[in-house]
A and B are shown apart, each in its own frame.
Chain A
C-alpha cells in the first residue's frame, strides 16, 4: 500500500467506524429490559466489537489486506452475534421476556406503520411490556447488528493495516505491530463517540428512524478522521 493510499485508507476506516455505530442496536436502559437493543451504550459496544476485530485481524496481518479486513469483520460480527445471543438468553430466562422491538411496535420504524418485524414478519406489539420501549434483540435488530459489526470490523482492520504499512519502513517489526494496533484502537475510539452524540444514547439499528441521521455522522467522522490521518501522515512520512 502506497503512503498516500494509506492516508486515504485511514480516513475511510474512520468513516466506516462512525457508520457502524448507527447499525449496532444498543441502549443503556436495555439493562433493565426497558429498551430494545444490547444493554450498553452504543459507543461502548461498538468499541468492544471493534477491539475484538482488531485482535483477530492482527493474527493475519502478514497475509494481505483482504484477509486482514475479512478477519476483522468476522471477529467483530462474532462478538456482536454472541453478545446478542447471550443478551437474549439473559432476557428470556433471567427476566422472562421475549425479544420485541419498541419502535416497530409503535409503528414508528423506518418500515412505516407496520408493527411487524421487517425480516421475520412476527408481530411485535403484543409482546411489549407496558411502559417499556421493548426489550431484547428481535430478528431485525440482530441482522442490523451483524451488518454494523461487519462494517465496523472492516473499518478498524483497514486503519490497522494502513498504519502498519506506514510504520513498517521506519520501525522494527514488533514495534510496528503494537504501535499500529494501538493507533488503530485510538482511531476507533475517537470515531465511535461522535455517532453517539447523534444517537443520544440509544438506537435500534438500521430500522430505527435515527438511521436517517447517518450523513451527519459521516461528514463529522470524515472531517475528524482527515485531521487525524493528516497528523499520522505528517509524523510518519513528511518529517522522516
Chain B
C-alpha cells in the first residue's frame, strides 16, 4: 500500500512542480526563448519584458530545489520533536522561502545587468518591468522549490531511495529544468513571443528577435506571460515531468519478475509512448497537410 501511495503522491507533486516551473521560467523569460528577448533591442524593439536569464533552466532549478532541500533537511533534524510529518512540511516551507529569496536576488541582478549591456541599442531600464514581474516569478519559484522538496522527501522516506534528500533534489532539479526548457518553452518561444505571426508555422530564423511587444492592452510585460502559457505550455511540462516521476515510481510497485519488474514495465511504457508519438506525427501530418503560404 505504502509504495502505491508514495507513487501517487510523488506523481501529484511532480505534476504541480511542472506547472510552477514552467510558469516561473516564462515569467522571467528564462532559458531558450531568452535569446529572442535579448535580440529584440538589436532590431529596434525596445521591450518591457523581465529578462531574467539566470542561467539555463537545469542549473537554476537545481539551485532553487537543492537550497530548499538542504535547508529543509538540516531544519527538520532540529524540529524532530514536532513529529516527522510536521517537521518535514514546516522546514520545507522555510527552505523554499530561502530559495525564493535567492531567486529574487539573482533575478534582479540578472535583469539590471543585462539591460545595462543593451546601451548600444538604446534599451531603457524600466523599474516597474522588474518589480511587477518579480513577485510573480518568486512565488512560482517558491512553489516549485516547495513541491520538489516535498517530492524529494517522499522519494527518500516513502519510496526508500538510498540517496540523501538534497542529492535527490539536485537530480530532480536538473531533470525538471531540462524537461521544462524542452517542452513548455516551445509554447512561449514559438507562440507567445510571436503572436503577431500566423499560427501554424515555425519562426523563420531571419525573423528571430522580431518579438511581439504589444500586450492585450498597452505594452506587454512579463506578468502577462504565465497568464497565457499556464493554459498549455505549463500543462505539457507538467504532463511530461509528472508522468516521468509517476511511471518510474509505479514501475516499482509491481512484483512479477523479481528485480527485473521495473525494467520490464518501463520498457513496455517506452514502447507505448513511442507508438503514441508516431501516431501523433501521422495525425498532424494528415490534419495540417504540407506547408502552404
A82 with B244, Cβ < 8 A, contacts A34-B203, A45-B182, A99-B281 known = yes
State A20–B153 Cα separation when bound (angstroms).
Answer: 30
Interface size of B by CB at 8 A reads: 81
Q: Which residues of A contact B189 (CB under 8 A)?
A: 31-33, 39
Most chain B CB within a 10 A radius of its CB, from A71, A88, A94: A94
Q: In the assembled complex, how far is the CB of residue A39 from the closest CB belonging to chain B, in whole angstroms? A: 5
Q: In the assembled complex, how far is the CB of residue B240 from the closest CB belonging to chain A, in whole angstroms? A: 4
Q: In the assembled complex, how far is the CB of residue A61 from the closest CB belonging to chain B, in whole angstroms? A: 6
State A181–B175 Cα separation when bound (angstroms).
Answer: 15
Secondary structure class of chain A's binding surface, majority of residues: helix
Is A228 interfacial (CB-CB < 8 Å)?
Answer: no
Query: Does B164 lie within 8 Å of A97, measured CB to CB?
Result: no
Query: Does B185 lie within 8 Å of A94, measured CB to CB?
Result: no
State A47–B179 Cα separation when bound (angstroms).
Answer: 11
Segment from A73-81, A106-114, A208-216 that makes contact with B: A73-81
Query: Does A131 lie within 8 Å of B260, measured CB to CB?
Result: no
State A129–B194 Cα separation when bound (angstroms).
Answer: 15
Q: Which residues of A contact B252 (CB under 8 A)?
A: 59
Query: Does B288 lie within 8 Å of A39, measured CB to CB?
Result: no
Query: Does B232 lie within 8 Å of A78, measured CB to CB?
Result: no
Q: Which residues of A contact B274 (CB under 8 A)?
A: 81, 142-143, 146
Segment from B87-95, B103-111, B261-269 that makes contact with A: B261-269
Which partner residue on chain A sits nearest B273 by CB separation?
A81
Query: Does B285 lie within 8 Å of A98, measured CB to CB?
Result: yes
Query: Does A174 lie within 8 Å of B277, measured CB to CB?
Result: no
State A185–B236 Cα separation when bound (angstroms).
Answer: 27
Interface mask (A5-32 → B, CB under 8 Å = 1, otherwise 0)? 0000000000000000000001011111
State A48–B263 Cα separation when bound (angstroms).
Answer: 19
**Extra A-B contacts (17), CB below 8 Å, given A39-B186, A40-B178, A75-B266:** A31-B188, A32-B36, A32-B194, A34-B208, A44-B58, A45-B182, A47-B174, A78-B270, A81-B273, A90-B236, A91-B190, A94-B187, A94-B191, A122-B285, A131-B207, A137-B277, A139-B281
